Amino acid sequence: MEGTKPVTVVTGGSGAIGSAVIASLAAQGHRVINVSLEETEKNDDAHFFAADLTDREATAEVLGRINREYRVDNLVNNAGFTYVTELQSLSFDRMQAMVDIHLRAAAQCIQAFAPAMAQNGRGRIVSIGSRMMLGRPGRMVYGMVKAGLLGMSRSLALELAHQGITVNMVSPGPIETALFRQNHPPGAPQTEKVLGAIPVGRIGTPEDVAHAVKFFLADESGFITGQNLFVCGGGSVGSAVM
């Protein structure tokens, strides 16, 4: 029955990873809500809510609408964008936008949906991190917000555990997207360098990330919380900072 399907909110569901997560969950019977700035192409697997998640008031408005129309069971914090800069070229306005979408919006979504999850005695929250939080030149802001997201997830895992809510994180390495292929054409030296640093010998796919998200959302994963799962083909193994 339609009413018994779990309701899952995916932020940033119009991108490559978000679309793969939505498709995977819809195939499993979830009623999926995509909260994104725009719907890049029509997706029959999800109900689309437009919102600029860098805007706190706009975010509050759309979260209120969702709460009035649905009882949310699961949340996937996937919205975000990258920002590559060296220290002396840093834009603090751009950094604030990164904090807003990766951290403030994630916290705002969790705050909005956790009460219904607690009332139901069961909830799943998964945030998308990045292997970049381990450190890389030019990724100081991106690494900062993703590391902050991990700290938030671990703290909230403890705070919400007694309510039946788990909070975990999935951190991808290099993933095959249109943007990745634009910057890393097949056979190019930079592509071969990336491949050489991945023990399994291939670039990840959005579906690899979706599989990890689906694992954390499962009913059977109720004893797993406060964890970060790298989906990186082994690229994070041996890194000094874990």
Tell me the pLDDT tens digit for each residue of 26-41. 999 999 999 999 876 7
Q: What is the pLDDT of residues 43-70, one digit of tens each?
A: 788 999 999 999 999 999 999 999 999 9
pLDDT, one tens digit per residue, over 207-220 is 999 999 999 999 99
Q: Return all residues near 110 (Cβ < 8 A) that are at least 6 apart.
A: 75, 77, 125, 156, 167
pLDDT digits (tens, 9 = 90+) for 129-183: 999 888 888 888 999 999 999 999 999 999 999 999 999 999 999 898 887 887 7
Residue 51 counted as domain residue: yes
Tell me which residue range forms the domain holding 19: 2-228
Give the pLDDT of residue 242: 42
- The answer to whether 209 and 172 are in contact (CB under 8 A) is yes
Domain assignment present for residue 73? The answer is yes
From the list 156, 127, 147, the residue with the least C-alpha distance to 216 is 127
**CATH classification at residue 32:** 3.40.50.720
Residue 234 lies in a domain: no
Q: What is the pLDDT, as a whole number, of residue 44? A: 80
pLDDT digits 0-9 by tens, 218-242: 999 999 999 999 999 998 886 544 4
pLDDT at 20 over 70: yes
Q: Please pick, among 49, 83, 113, 142, the residue that the annotation labels catalytic.
A: 142
Strands 7-11 and 31-36: parallel
Per-residue pLDDT at 239: 56
Residue 31's nearest CA partner among 10, 54, 12, 52 is: 10
Calculate mean pLDDT across residues 68-95: 92
> Amino acid identity of 30?
H
Instruction: List Cβ neighbours of 99 (8 Å cut-off, separation of 6 or more).
Output: 145, 148
122 vs 131: CA distance, rounded Å: 29
Q: Would you state the pLDDT for residue 42?
A: 72
Note the pLDDT of residue 3: 58
Segment 86-136, tens digit of pLDDT? 999 989 999 999 999 999 999 999 999 999 999 999 999 999 999 988 888
| H-type alpha helices, 197-237 | 206-217
Residue 109 dihedral angles phi and psi, to the nearest 5°:
-65, -45
187: left (phi over 0), alpha (psi -120 to 50) or beta: left
Q: Is 6 part of any domain?
A: yes
Burial annotation 144-177 (CB, 10 A radius, 16+ → b, else e) = bbbbbbbebbbebbeebeeeebbbbbbbbbbbeb
Residue 30 lies in a domain: yes
pLDDT in tens, 148-158: 999 999 999 99
In a domain, 236, yes or no: no
Is residue 70 flagged as an active site residue?
Answer: no
CA distance 105 to 163: 22
The model carries a pTM of: 0.92
**How many separate domains does the chain show?**
1
The answer to whether residue 239 sits within a structural domain is no
> Which of 57, 65, 143, 49 is closest to 103 using CA atoms?
143
